Amino acid sequence: MEIKIPETTVRKDGEEDEQPLSPAARVFHAPEFNCYVISVIGVKKKIEPDVIIEGLKQTLIRHPRFSSKMVSRRNKNSQTQIWVRTSVVVSDHVIVPDIQTQNIENSNADKFLESYVSDLTLIPLDTSKPLWELHLLDLKTSDAENVAVLKFHHSLGDGMSLMALVLACMRKTSNPDELPTLPNQNRSSSKSSRLKGGSRGDFRLLWLIIALWSAIKLVLNTFCDALEFIATAMFLKDTETPIKGDFRLSKHRRMSLVHRTVNLDDIKLIKNNMKMTVNDVVLGVTQAGLSQYLERRYGEKKKKLGEDQRNSNDMPKRVRLRSALLVNLRPTTGIQDLSDMMAKGSKCRWGNWIGYIVFPFSIGLRKDPLEHLRSAKRIIDRKKNSLEAALTFIVGKFMIKSFGVKVTANIINRALSNTTMSFSNLIGPIEEISFFGHPITYMAPSVYGHPHALTMHFQSYMNKMTISLTVDPTVISDTHRLLDDWEESLKKIKAAVQERGSSIFE
């Protein structure tokens, strides 16, 4: 049963606006690559559905994509998909399930939430209306008083745009009139800026040599990465590890979504001591956590088969395990721009502007846990000096125009199927924010519908980092053990950093 909410309708005056789907949006609607974004949001108080309804009326549905439905029109030779502005009945998009919570304890409530969200992965959105919905759960879990679950179709926009739009609907708890604030991303000074100490003439030749060498490395790295991506799409496969799924025979399956929140200050402590970025640390800890998890899984497999357990390392000597790292290519769309668009009808950039980087994790146990950080940083620094992400985006658009959506979706599906997992990381607000008067405790976004048995997403918020896993339970049945290994790896690396720091001052 669902609680009946008074119907609220928003109508668009004038003729219906029509806009064709972008090439990326069309790919996301292909059966081979039908992707959705789900964001679980924990709040500190009991949810008031009527307040949420009114808030959505004033914000989210003023965005064209959230007040448009997708319509397919057949021409003589082809089929065209377009966005058509329509009247929006907000209550049709807000679902409030009747949950009998009196006998549910916190631990059981967490399992209930995981099951509820996982069940949503089997239910497609109704294409006769805008492709989004909001579930409001009167359910007290171990880390929230109530929970909201937002579900969008990925064709509405890329993850960064969608999260920025959600944040633009929110306000600071300390000042309900102010939008959320994101941390400044400090960029390291360039080599040219470090040469300002001397005269310009003395360093001109050196600057030209450095610039020329950087350009050569950029071209070579991009060329090598392009070859690897082509090989991956054609034949280059990852090792068949216990976390690699096989999506060739199954088009759609139920996925499990779980999350865990850790202290962001621990990550920042490592970052500052190792002179890295938060993303570098997260990649390094992920590599360590995956190595620890796979070591256990291979050991359990050997034990089950009755093989010799005397070897200290149960994993194969060489494991090719690569992740598709999602990279945002759009010039940053500010939260203020999106807020103005919803409030005043102004224009701002929108759509799916994402590219991929194929990131190879160096899987294996290390005596020094800091080696995982150094290894991950070397690889990601090398990847940053490449146009791989932009190239995958440009080539994708070219393939859609040249070969069509179906062929392009099959190629992307094949390339991703030959890798093991997906990985993304988003920066969140630095202060507590509220969702229409409901203070937020955590945000756990993720995506499903692509051919990976494991997707890891990291979302920072205040002094917290939430790790969201989307997994195929037929491949990874012990998702919480994987989270345990990630958290344990973080603790080991933090301890190693502190020990390293103390030894320096002794």
Q: Tokens 């979504």 correspond to what residue? A: 257
Q: How, if at all, do strands 9-10 and 18-20 pair?
A: unpaired
DSSP per residue over 28-72, as a string?
HTSGGG--EEEEEEEESS---HHHHHHHHHHTGGGSGGGGEEEEE
- The CA dihedral of 391, 158, 404, 389, to the nearest 10 degrees, is 10
Q: Enter the DSSP assignment of 328.
A: E
DSSP per residue over 339-367, as a string?
HHHHHH------S--EEEEEEEEE-S--S
Tokens standing for 483?
């989270």
- Residue of 135, 154, 450, 452 marked catalytic: 154
Q: Quick check: 37 and 151 in contact, CB under 8 A?
A: yes
Q: Quick check: 493 and 369 in contact, CB under 8 A?
A: yes
Q: Is 480 a residue of the active site?
A: no
The closest alpha carbon to 118, from 46, 36, 43, belongs to 36
CA atoms within 13 A on the CB side of 85: 14
Estimate the share of the chain in helix, then strand, then coil, as percent rounded to the nearest 5. 45, 20, 35
Q: How far apart are CA 419 and CA 245, in angstroms?
A: 10
Q: Quick check: 340 and 466 in contact, CB under 8 A?
A: no
Tokens standing for 415?
């390339």
- The CA dihedral of 331, 336, 339, 341, to the nearest 10 degrees, is -50
175 torsion bin: left (phi>0), alpha (psi -120 to 50), beta (else) = beta
In angstroms, the Cα distances linking 287 to 84, 358, 379, 456 are 44, 14, 12, 12
Q: Which residues does 441 contact at the CB level (< 8 Å), separation at least 6?
A: 42, 43, 44, 143, 144, 145
Q: Which residues does 283 contact at the CB level (< 8 Å), separation at least 6?
A: 359, 376, 377, 380, 423
Q: Enter the DSSP assignment of 310.
A: -
Q: Tokens 């309804």 correspond to what residue? A: 53
Using DSSP, state whether 440 is helix, strand or coil.
strand
Tell me the residue type at 322: R
Q: How far apart are CA 55 and CA 42, in angstroms?
A: 17
Containing 441, the helix (H) or strand (E) segment is strand 440-448
H helix runs in 237-334, sequence order:
264-274, 278-305
Active-site residue set:
154
